[in-house]
Amino acid sequence: MGRHVLAIGLRAAASLLAVSALAFLVIAFMPSDPVMIAIRAWNLPADPETIAGLRAQWGLDGPLPARYLRWLAGFVSGDWGRTFRTGEPVLAEFAARLPLSLSIGLGGLAFACVAAVPIGFAAALRPEGAADRASRLLAVTVQAVPAFWLGLVLVWVLGVKLRVIQPFSGGPTIVLLAAGLVALHSAGMFARVYRRDLIEQTGQPHFRTALAKGLDRRRALWRHGHRGAIYAMLSAVRSEAGWAIGTTAALEVLFGLPGISQFLVQSISARDFFVLQAYVMVVAVWMLAVNGAIELAVRRLDPRWRESQS
Amino acid sequence: MRRGAVLAVALAALALAGAVWQPHDPDAVDMLARHAAPSLSHPLGTDHLGRDLASRMLVAAWRTGLVVVIVGAIGLAGGSALGTIAAILGGWRERLILRGAELFIVVPTLVWALTAAALFGLSPLTAGVALGLAGVGPYALFSNALTHRVLGQPFVLAATALGAARLRLMLRHVLPNTLPLIFAYVGSQAGQSVIAYASLAFIGLGADPSKPDWGSMLYEYRMFVFDRPMLTIWPGLAIAAVTWTLNRIFDPPTAAASGGAGLNRGRRRPS
């Protein structure tokens, strides 16, 4: 087990390094000069001395590779630079906002996993039955309708027609609503993956044996199909995680929730490149952590993996 | 399928029409006609500045269409080229290309596009290029796997034995077999690029506020959801209709019902 953790960690670190270099390169080609922006933002005198001072302070005077290494060293040691807008350390700003974004994104994914099992199971129990049709409709709908628009419609229905929520208040209900919207999309996808794997297993010999033993379809599916379908669903979580981050970003903007994406949007009008770089890194870490956790979970739980390892 | 095709043609015609003609100037402010109800001259009514909603929807349709075409073209060309070249090169160079492709999956497509929009501004061109480039990774992996499968086929082995050059082999025997499948895969993601572009415009990083997009219209009109819900209903319906149509064309419901064709297993969506 320890070996796997180490291998996944090393691979994640290598990916992170490559992503950071790529993001650094892209951002270094930014059309506008961050020093001039900062001088305007902080009302500093635009004399050559200040400009040279800021350049030296941010390490903008060296060649690109040296700048990258310098930034990397700072990033690893927790010095993520200061924002132009507020002058606060970027790390502190992100640390204050990350819990909210994580609870919407990861909370939504977790909700979705829990909700997808009963939906997918009911759909697999009777293919082409009511539950199957409903779950297909859900999957088709959430793929076509952007979550932020659904959120807007919900604001109108719940906030205007029924008056049960206070939209744009940023309260816990709104956070819950946002997580629910992330969950809705993912649940639609997960339920289909879970159902598909269950149905595929009904063609397998072990499933027919279970039926021959006298189990009914429901118990046979649950006892002999459920576990395998869970692994299939966990793999789907990996591709869904990126989608959840995008949805979270749009929902933060819609509801005015102070998460990391809203912070990015506010900072970008000031061309705050430290924030942009940190944002890409935080998202990459988020994705790699989800990927690593799922890979570990599947390796740990799935007997097929354990056998092939020993 | 037929219904989907009819709808697709109608939507494409609307988008093309939106490129050259709108009933009114989409940016013409008319404070006397604010929030006008739908009428013959304003089929969908007007917004809070008296701008004709139908005209703005048409321009936005054209801009969205551009994004879909650019993303698809880059995905198809870049993905098949990278995947095939990697398969020809083989060895460490192939591993390097594939690792690079995997890298783009680590950071979601939408976040790469957000970065590009923040740096270079948001237009159909920048968004299309950013979403397209960021989405190339999965296509390259997919086309690489397909190419290897085709390379193992008897007719390819025969061509190799006859001494066909590698480039010729790829152009004559491999690409004709892999391209249709890659095209179907890229197409199945086209609907997602509509939603991604709408999300980008909604988030609004670097967007030009004078240019209408369905996403930016939703952002602009969200404050009027209390009194004028129709302003937000129309752009949302347009996004949903286009996405649904694209998904349906490239991923027919029969395949979805049987759990998707082998092609769609483990599909990744850009985000």
pLDDT 10s digits, A61-108? 778 888 888 888 888 888 888 777 777 888 988 999 999 999 999 999
How confident is the model at residue B259, as a pLDDT?
37
Q: Within 10 A of B91 (CB to CB), how many other CB atoms are there?
A: 8
* Mean pLDDT of all residues in A210-237: 87
Decide if domain B2-20+52-265 falls under CATH 2.40.10.10.
no
Partner-chain contact B259 A199, CB within 8 Å: yes
Mean of all residue pLDDT scores within chain A: 85
For B114, the token pair is: 């957000």
Tell me the shortest Cα–Cα distance from A155 to chain B, in angstroms.
8
B202, closest residue in chain A (CA to CA)? A250
CB pairs under 8 A between A and B: 160
Q: Where are the beta strands (DSSP E) in chain A?
A: none
B188, closest residue in chain A (CA to CA)? A143
How confident is the model at residue A104, as a pLDDT?
94
Of B119, B219, B243, the CB nearest to A27: B119
Residue B4 sits at the chain A interface (C-beta within 8 Å): no
How confident is the model at residue A224, as a pLDDT?
85
Contacts (Cβ under 8 Å, ≥6 apart) of B54: B22, B23, B24, B42, B43, B44
Residue B114 sits at the chain A interface (C-beta within 8 Å): yes
Of A19, A30, A31, the CB nearest to B103: A19
For B117, the token pair is: 């929009």
How confident is the model at residue B252, as a pLDDT?
57
The answer to whether B227 and B113 are in contact (CB under 8 A) is no
Residue B105 sits at the chain A interface (C-beta within 8 Å): yes
Confidence grade of residue A305 (pLDDT, cut at 50, 70, 90) = low
* pLDDT at position A150 over 50: yes
Residue numbers in B near A203 (CB within 8 A):
none
Of A29, A145, A242, the CB nearest to B108: A242
For chain B, the domains span 2-20+52-265
Tell me the shortest Cα–Cα distance from A19 to chain B, in angstroms.
7
Residues A143, B213, B230, B241, CA torsion sign: negative
Distance from CA of residue B75 to its chain's centroid?
A: 9
Digit-by-digit pLDDT tens for chain B (271 residues) are 577 788 888 888 888 888 788 888 887 777 777 777 788 778 888 887 878 888 888 999 999 999 999 999 999 999 999 998 898 888 899 988 888 888 878 888 888 888 888 888 888 998 999 999 988 988 999 999 999 888 888 888 888 888 878 778 888 888 888 898 898 888 888 889 999 999 999 988 877 777 889 998 988 888 888 888 888 889 999 999 999 988 888 865 544 433 333 333 333 443 3
How confident is the model at residue A283, as a pLDDT?
92
Round to whole Å and give the CA distance between B40 and B96: 60
Residue numbers in A near B107 (CB within 8 A):
19, 23, 242, 280, 283-284, 287
As a residue count, chain A comes to 310
Partner-chain contact A146 B102, CB within 8 Å: no
The answer to whether B135 and B71 are in contact (CB under 8 A) is yes
The answer to whether B143 and B182 are in contact (CB under 8 A) is yes
Residue numbers in A near B206 (CB within 8 A):
268
The answer to whether B159 and B151 are in contact (CB under 8 A) is no
Partner-chain contact A152 B271, CB within 8 Å: no
Of A192, A244, A250, the CB nearest to B202: A250
Ranking A21-25, A27-31, B155-159, B170-174 by mean pLDDT, the lowest is A27-31
Confidence grade of residue A52 (pLDDT, cut at 50, 70, 90) = confident
B219, closest residue in chain A (CA to CA)? A254
Partner-chain contact A265 B218, CB within 8 Å: no
Residue numbers in B near A155 (CB within 8 A):
222, 225
Mutate to test the interface with A, among B114, B123, B251 (most CBs of A within 10 A): B114
Burial class (CB in 10 A: 0-12, 13-18, 19+), B34: middle
The pLDDT tens digits of the residues spanning A78-87 come to 888 877 777 7
